[in-house]
Structures are given as C-alpha cells and as structure tokens.
C-alpha cells in the first residue's frame, strides 16, 4: 500500500472506496488482512487528518451511494474523529498534560531494553514485531491492530502508554493529537475510567485470518488509573465578521481551500504553514515529514492554478508578522501550541461549521454524541 500526495488522487481513492467497498464495510471492517489487502476499510485517514478530503464530503458522497441505514457504521466512524477532536477541545489540558508526562517519562526510558526492543520490533511477540515494521514502512496500521498494538504495549510489555502514543505520532501519516492520544488513553482504561481494552490471542488470530501463530500475550491486567479529572472548559467557537484584505494562515490540518467554509472570501494572501521537527515537541519520522511537505506543496500548486496569491512559510516566521491575520483553526495539537507558547495575539481563528455545530455534543461520552449524528448529517447534507 502507498498513500497519494495530492487532493485529486485522494478524491479518486474516496470515490473508488465508495463505489466498490463501502457496502461491505460494516461486515469486514474489523479484519486486518495485511498491508497488501487494505480494501475493507477506506484508508482515508491520512487525507482526512490533513483536510485533503473533509468529513462532510465523505459522508455526503457515501449517502449518494447508499441510504443512511446502510452507511450508518461508516458515518459513525467518520464522525468519531470529529467527536474526539471536540472532546479534546473542551479539555485541552489532556493534551498538555500528556506532553508533560511524556517529557518526564522519556528520560527514564532512553536506555530501557524493553522499550528499545519494542520500537525496534525485537520482542518475542511475532505479530507485534511485524506491526512495528509495518508502521515504519507504510506509516499506517489498521484500527483493530492499533488497539491490539497499544494493548500489548501497555499490558504485556509493561511500557507507558505515553511512549506508545509518541511512537504512533512519529510514524503515522494520519497522526492526530485527538484520535491518537485519546485512542491510547482509551486502551489503557483511563479515557473510559476502569475499562481497559485487553487484546486476546483468539481475537487477533480470528481478525488477522490466522496469519500469526503463538500469540502469547497478557490477557488479564487491571486498568491503568489516574487521579486526574478534566472538567469541560468554557470556550466559544465563534467566527468573526470577515474583513477583506487580510492574510489567511492555513496549517497542515486544513490543506484544501476548496473545502473551506471561507473559500469564497477575498483574502489578501494565503500563507501555508510548515511545521518541522525544530518546532515540534514530538519528533516525526522522515517519511511523515516528507508526506506533509508533499501535501503542502500540492495545496500551494492548486492555489496557484486558481491565481490565488499564496506561499509556504515556516511556522517560526509567524513571529515576525505583526499585522492582524486570520487562521483556519489548527485544533488542539502542535500547531496550536506554537501559537499559544509564542503568544501570537494577532491571529484570529476561523472555525469550520461542522466543528462549531458538532462540538457542542462532545461534553459527554460517544454514546450521547451518537444520538446527535442524524442531526449533524441532515444539517450538512
């Protein structure tokens, strides 16, 4: 498998999936048949994470093909991502605490043999080693495999979830502060407190089509615990009345001006922001950085084709811009942290309509959010 690096190709992949594989999605989605056979899920996450295709675009296309009832599972998964994002927006300290814990833990694990064996794929668990290599080579893992991987990391290899989440962020093309951090916390049993996810030998064998033998893992372990609780913060996601003739900043989560709610507005110039390892708290792999660079270049080329004034700048160049500017909201994560740490007060955020509407339902659990899905789908269809 390989991921494409342009919006045009990402849309082709979306269309192909909807035309050929969407109908069997709910039946087959939990199987991981290996990297050479990935057609039972969409593999769109690297594109969605970077805004190359949007959740609304995907849902609406899927509804042109099948009814809501036939698509329900797929739509739920697509919106699960929106839910995690909103959940973290309302509790941003979960992300900052995660990074702080990671910094504290890292020092103690630099020379830890268990940890080094895990990230090198040299444990005595064959499937785990294979997934480590797959992650590094293809920069993607199937959802079920991410769950097994995280469960083995935490409960069999006894490694801190924070280091596992860092390892994923480093290599995943779809690496996302909300889905990744909350996915790991969920497996550990901290997200839904006391309910950890334990991988089992039979489950792995069944859903990998018996590709692995001898899966010796810890199938009984208590949930991780934390004393911390994160009350919902007061935050409004209100958009300003847009003025003409201002610069717009676009970060790497929104690389499709074609889809932006503000696409018809006349901005003075568009600056596409590139964030390299010098300005990141989690260091990304070369593959992951290259992937982002290609996507950013693709956005620039598409803007130029439309004769829109645009250029790419490094995130640390933002400090020298003193005039008031707009930015498509980068969401809680590394780009937003940069703005916060450097107190760049001249930036006014523009929020996507789907987020503004959906995030109000993210104050409780996903089962509550699920009840609002028909409303969300109707509003944006």
Ligand X SMILES: Cc1cc2nc3c(=O)[nH]c(=O)nc-3n(C[C@H](O)[C@H](O)[C@H](O)COP(=O)(O)OP(=O)(O)OC[C@H]3O[C@@H](n4cnc5c(N)ncnc54)[C@H](O)[C@@H]3O)c2cc1C
In sequence order, the 6+-apart residues with CB closer than 8 A to the CB of 4 are 10, 12, 13
Residue pair 310/300 in contact by the 8 Å Cβ criterion: yes
- Residue 13 touching ligand X (CB under 6 A): no
Residue from 3, 84, 87, 98 in contact with ligand X (CB under 6 A): 84
- Angstrom distance (rounded) from CA 21 to CA 70: 12
- Residue 29 touching ligand X (CB under 6 A): yes
- Residue 196 touching ligand X (CB under 6 A): no
* Piece in contact with ligand X (CB under 6 A), picked from 73-81, 98-106, 221-229, 289-297: 73-81
Q: CB-wise, 102 or 150, nearer to ligand X?
A: 150
Tally of CA atoms within 13 A in the half-sphere of 236 that contains its CB = 4
Reference 252, options 359, 173, 355; nearest CA is 173
Q: CB-wise, 33 or 80, nearer to ligand X?
A: 80
- Residue 48 touching ligand X (CB under 6 A): yes
Torsions phi, psi of 273, nearest 5? -100, 125
- Residue 179 touching ligand X (CB under 6 A): yes
Residue pair 253/350 in contact by the 8 Å Cβ criterion: no
* Piece in contact with ligand X (CB under 6 A), picked from 176-184, 225-233, 235-243, 312-320: 176-184
Shortest spacing between CB 176 and ligand X, in angstroms: 4
Shortest spacing between CB 209 and ligand X, in angstroms: 17
- Residue 187 touching ligand X (CB under 6 A): yes
- Residue 327 touching ligand X (CB under 6 A): no
- Residue 176 touching ligand X (CB under 6 A): yes
Shortest spacing between CB 342 and ligand X, in angstroms: 25
- Residue 352 touching ligand X (CB under 6 A): no
Give CA angle at 372 (370, 373), nearest 5°. 65
- Residue 44 touching ligand X (CB under 6 A): yes
- Residue 42 touching ligand X (CB under 6 A): yes
* Piece in contact with ligand X (CB under 6 A), picked from 110-118, 146-154, 276-284, 312-320: 146-154
Query: Of how many residues is the chain composed?
Result: 381
Q: Which long-range contacts (CB under 8 A, 24 or more apart) does 50-53 make?
A: 50/252, 50/253, 50/254, 50/255, 50/292, 50/295, 51/253, 51/254, 51/255, 51/256, 51/259, 52/7, 52/10, 52/255, 52/256, 52/295, 53/7, 53/10, 53/11, 53/14, 53/256, 53/259
Residue from 51, 183, 189, 333 in contact with ligand X (CB under 6 A): 183
Residue, CB closest to ligand X: 183
Token pair for 221: 């372990």
Torsions phi, psi of 280, nearest 5? -110, 150
Q: Report the interface residues with ligand X, using CB under 6 A.
A: 29, 41-45, 48-49, 77-78, 80-81, 84, 142-143, 146-147, 150, 168, 172, 174-176, 179-180, 183-184, 187
């Amino acid at each position: 498998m390989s991921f494409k690096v342009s919006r045009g190709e990402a849309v082709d992949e979306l269309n192909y999936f909807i035309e050929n594989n969407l109908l069997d999605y709910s039946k087959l989605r939990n199987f991981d048949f290996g990297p050479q056979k990935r057609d039972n899920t969409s593999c769109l996450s690297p594109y969605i994470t970077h805004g190359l295709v949007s959740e609304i675009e995907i849902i609406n296309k899927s509804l042109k093909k099948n009814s809501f009832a036939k698509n329900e599972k797929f739509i739920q998964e697509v919106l699960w991502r929106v839910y995690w994002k909103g959940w973290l927006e309302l509790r941003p300290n979960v992300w900052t605490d995660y990074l702080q814990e990671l910094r504290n833990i890292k020092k103690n694990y630099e020379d830890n043999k268990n940890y080094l064996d895990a990230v090198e794929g040299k444990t005595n668990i064959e499937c785990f080693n294979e997934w480590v290599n797959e992650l590094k080579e293809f920069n993607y893992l199937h959802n079920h495999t991410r769950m097994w991987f995280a469960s083995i990391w935490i409960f069999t290899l006894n490694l801190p979830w924070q280091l596992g989440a860092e390892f994923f962020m480093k290599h995943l093309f779809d690496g996302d502060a909300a889905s990744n951090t909350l996915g790991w916390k969920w497996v550990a049993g901290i997200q839904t407190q006391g309910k950890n996810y334990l991988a089992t030998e039979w489950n792995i064998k069944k859903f990998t089509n018996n590709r692995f033998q001898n899966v010796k893992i810890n199938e009984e372990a208590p949930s991780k615990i934390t004393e911390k609780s994160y009350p919902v913060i007061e935050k409004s996601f209100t958009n300003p009345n847009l003025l003409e003739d201002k610069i717009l900043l676009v970060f790497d989560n929104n690389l499709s001006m074609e889809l932006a709610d503000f696409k018809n507005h006349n901005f003075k110039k568009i600056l596409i922001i590139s964030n390299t390892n010098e300005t990141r708290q989690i260091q990304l792999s070369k593959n992951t950085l290259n992937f982002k660079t290609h996507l950013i270049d693709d956005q620039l080329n598409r803007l130029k084709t439309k004769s829109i004034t645009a250029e790419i700048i490094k995130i640390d160049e933002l400090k020298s811009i003193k005039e008031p500017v707009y930015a498509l909201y980068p969401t809680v994560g590394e780009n937003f942290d940069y703005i916060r740490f450097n107190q760049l007060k001249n930036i006014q955020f523009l929020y996507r309509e789907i987020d503004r509407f959906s995030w109000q339902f993210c104050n409780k659990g996903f089962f509550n959010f699920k009840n609002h899905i028909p409303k969300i789908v109707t509003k944006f269809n």
